[in-house]
Structure 1
Amino acid sequence: MSGRRARQTLAPNVLRWARERAGLEPERLAAKMRVKPDRVRDWERSGSISLAQADGMARHTRTPLGYLFLKAPPTEELSIPDYRTHAGAAPARPTPELLDTIHLMRRRQAWMRDELVEVGAEPLAFVGISRGESSFEAVAEAMREAFSVPAGWAATKPDWTTALRFLRDRADESGVLTIFNGIVGNNTSRKLDRSEFQGFALVDGHAPLVFVNAADFKAAQMFTLAHELAHLFVGAPGLSNLGGQELPRHDTERFCNAVAAEFLVPAGEMIGQWTPYAEVDEALQAAARRFKVSVLVAARRAVNLELIRPSEFRSFYERHTGALKPSSGGGNFWNNQNTRIGRRFGSAVYRAVSAGRLTYREAYSLTGLRGDTFDNFLRRMKTAL
């Protein structure tokens, strides 16, 4: 029997762990590997599997092949603090898509930091500026100043997409690597799950980075962006999932939520535009349109400012939470690169490749683009500069 077809006896619980880690039922993994589901179940009972089959399982479950030869499942831990909660419970183990996304963003950040340090760039003054006893109102005001965001800015934008692009561009121009993506890199077959996380922040004085899960609702992405930007100001990296009626368990998350709410929906503006005798639904829809946030964010702000009663908030939340629709994705490929790679990072890659400081192989790895597609990307970056 050839080496690739020779049977190996691996730990059954490791094989089961690899499948479950990828979120695959036996039937789904069997379909990917073109075997019967009973074959997958047999592997997980006996551990008897050929090297070729183990290689296929590793590939389809996004598991390093060497992990399948361990005696017990490894413990995969996130490299940043995990602030997520769901229905009051601790989050499930991270998917390969989340782990790979954080790893890729860390690599981009590390490369960008080295580039900036090499040219003598100074650290950004706002990163970690509010680590002390600053109030959430003071941090929200510091964010407006750092990003040159005027009062009432959202009301001047015609829709949520335009407002989100405006804030993203202001953060990017201020030195923040601002990434929106609903897939791993540029791999459209590896979608991110909006229920697993909504965003994360990686703190660094030279190359701070925020990542927003673009698979989430468009209106919800606005609050996620503001929340992750707040993490940079308090100097606290972390992974977030902001949905649900329950308040976050972590002090940092509660504080960043308060900062984001005040930044996007200033208390004075919210109270000033509130119509006390209008129907609650009508008033909250009007607030969401004015501030370009989701109706649920508007409702949370209204109850916190005592503009509506807690019972009205709960009723509104239950009626509207199922009506929101996630982002559909798709769109123009090159426009997507402005969000998946980011203009600031993309411009830096273009300059480094042009100057010979970055090889094409390294650039391919950092951007997820290759060959003619990468060459087109460079030409577009050159035109944009």
Structure 2
Amino acid sequence: MAITRVNDIRPEMLRWAIQRAGSNEEKAVKAVPALKGWLSGEKKPTVIQLQQFADKFHVPFGYLFLREVPEETIPIPMFRGEAAQSEHFDLNVYDTVMGVRRRQDWLEEYLEENGIDTCRLVETVSLKTPVGETVSLLREALRLEPRWAFSLASAEAAVSMLTRQMEYEGIFLVYNGVVGNNTHRPLKVSECRGFALASKTAPYIFVNSADSKSAQLFTLIHEAAHLMLGVSAGHAGEETVSHDVVEMYCDKVAAEFLVPAIELRNVWNGDIRYVSRRFKVSEIVVARRAHDLGMLPDRDYRAFWLEYRKRPVAKKEGSGGDFYLTSVKRVGRLFAIHVRNAVNSRQLSYTEAYNLTGLHGNTYQHFMTNNI
């Protein structure tokens, strides 16, 4: 049987695909030895080899036949460090954002067609709205009083409670530390801690589950503030002070929601670790809050900050656990309920449901039957 070789593949497109995946030629050739001949033009890949290359470097097969490199950008601003928008393109972040947007697109159509109530928080405030007023609106919507976290055992319990309350309010949530279910494609905290996709019909918040629980807590409220403003964006990297006006506003909302000034004054004893455990937030959030409120002198804050920066980055423990419980977070309970209902009412095919959830066949059936 004759072997079909692809003659119209340009080496430039292969190099672009390698760079797009965050790799380089040396590493790529080690992974795919035949690639060396393709890049030099001395040899041509077979269709099967090219498909395997596309799978390995996470590029749509058809893109490799293009004559020009396509322009791809993450469709929302992703603020890093000092809230500077990076020109860096991270494929894992891009694929994650686009995956959530596909779910959102389907949800918007489904919810509108079926007249299902949606979240009322989106676009309810502006940058001119006092932070305290925004916090009050959010607390009322989530049915949480200022000391809501004090009685909880841990930051993990606080994240779980916020998740439930936000889903009750109609906010769709996703927790994931990898792209889809691919554990070989980790989502780095330095590239994405979380993001919000604003929509009056199907607002979404994504949280990087590889981040620490206390950081996830801050991300949840920060992104909720984005939804209230109606502004889609994400943030990544170190916990630093932002200079973007929207990011600054969302940070202030998160700080006041999680560490209310009046409550901090009541419990402040100078012990940052103790206070952080009361509010279930990170020590840096407490230190910055106390400093901003004039309770922690400049010298003490600087000393703490220098010590804090030397600590190893806190991460969630392990990546194991029950696959189906993990899938509830990756798919999102509220989203899964709508998918299941749409399938049951024949408004969505099983194939479409598999593609939306990333779960297939018996795995999908077990997930929906036993976990949703």
Q: What is the TM-score of this pair, normalised by structure 1? A: 0.88
How many equivalent residue pairs? 369
- The 8 Å contact of residues 11 and 38 in structure 2, kept in 1 or not, is answered as no
- Going from structure 1 to structure 2, the CA distance change for 1:292 and 1:181 (only over 3 Å counts) comes to same
Q: What is the TM-score of this pair, normalised by structure 2? A: 0.91
What letter is aligned with 2:305? Y
Which residue in the other structure is 2:5 paired with? 5
Which residue in the other structure is 1:272 paired with? 266
Deviation string, structure 1 residues 267-321 (Cα, Å, up to 9, x no partner): 111122111xx4xxxx111121011111122222122112223343333233223
Pairwise mapping of residues 317-328 of structure 1 onto structure 2 (< 5 A)?
Answer: 317-321=305-309, 322-327=311-316, 328=318
Which residue in the other structure is 2:28 paired with? 29
Q: Which structure 2 residue ranges, 5 or more long, are not aligned?
A: none
Which residue in the other structure is 2:123 paired with? 128
- The 8 Å contact of residues 135 and 257 in structure 2, kept in 1 or not, is answered as yes
Give me the CA root mean square deviation. 2.3
Q: Does 1:218 align with 2:213?
A: yes
Q: Distance in 2 between matches of 1:314 and 1:323?
A: 18
Q: Distance in 2 between matches of 1:259 and 1:140?
A: 6
What letter is aligned with 1:268? I
Pairwise mapping of residues 286-325 of structure 1 onto structure 2 (< 5 A)?
Answer: 286-321=274-309, 322-325=311-314
SS state at 2:195 partner: strand
- The 8 Å contact of residues 11 and 72 in structure 1, kept in 2 or not, is answered as no
What letter is aligned with 1:315? A
- The 8 Å contact of residues 81 and 239 in structure 2, kept in 1 or not, is answered as yes
Q: Which of 142, 150, 158 is the aligned partner of 1:155? A: 150
SS state at 1:351 partner: helix
1:333 CA displacement: 1.3
Q: Distance in 2 between matches of 1:92 and 1:292?
A: 34
Q: Distance in 1 between matches of 2:26 and 2:275?
A: 47
Which residue in the other structure is 1:190 paired with? 185
What letter is aligned with 2:243? R
- The 8 Å contact of residues 8 and 51 in structure 1, kept in 2 or not, is answered as no
SS state at 1:335 partner: helix
| Percent identity (aligned) | 34
- Going from structure 1 to structure 2, the CA distance change for 1:310 and 1:11 (only over 3 Å counts) comes to farther
Deviation string, structure 1 residues 28-49 (Cα, Å, up to 9, x no partner): 323432x17xx54x65565964
Q: Distance in 2 between matches of 1:23 and 1:125?
A: 40
Which residue in the other structure is 1:251 paired with? 245
- The 8 Å contact of residues 200 and 239 in structure 1, kept in 2 or not, is answered as yes
Q: Does 1:262 align with 2:256?
A: yes
Pairwise mapping of residues 1-385 of structure 1 onto structure 2 (< 5 A)?
Answer: 2=2, 4-5=4-5, 7-8=7-8, 10-12=10-12, 14-33=13-32, 35=33, 39-40=35-36, 43-44=38-39, 49-52=44-47, 53-80=49-76, 82-86=77-81, 89-131=84-126, 133-241=128-236, 243-245=238-240, 247-275=241-269, 278=270, 283-321=271-309, 322-327=311-316, 328-381=318-371, 384=372
- The 8 Å contact of residues 11 and 47 in structure 1, kept in 2 or not, is answered as no
- The 8 Å contact of residues 10 and 49 in structure 1, kept in 2 or not, is answered as no
- Going from structure 1 to structure 2, the CA distance change for 1:61 and 1:357 (only over 3 Å counts) comes to same
What letter is aligned with 1:10? R
Q: Which structure 1 residue ranges, 5 or more long, are not aligned?
A: none
Q: Distance in 2 between matches of 1:314 and 1:10?
A: 54
Deviation larger for 334-343 or 194-203: 334-343
Deviation larger for 335-344 or 310-319: 310-319
- The 8 Å contact of residues 11 and 71 in structure 1, kept in 2 or not, is answered as no
What letter is aligned with 1:101? T
- Going from structure 1 to structure 2, the CA distance change for 1:111 and 1:48 (only over 3 Å counts) comes to same
Q: Distance in 1 between matches of 2:220 and 2:167?
A: 12
- The 8 Å contact of residues 7 and 48 in structure 1, kept in 2 or not, is answered as no
Deviation string, structure 1 residues 308-361 (Cα, Å, up to 9, x no partner): 233433332332233332222222112112211111111111111122221110
SS state at 1:139 partner: helix
SS state at 1:84 partner: strand
- Going from structure 1 to structure 2, the CA distance change for 1:352 and 1:317 (only over 3 Å counts) comes to same
- Going from structure 1 to structure 2, the CA distance change for 1:204 and 1:9 (only over 3 Å counts) comes to closer
SS state at 2:173 partner: strand
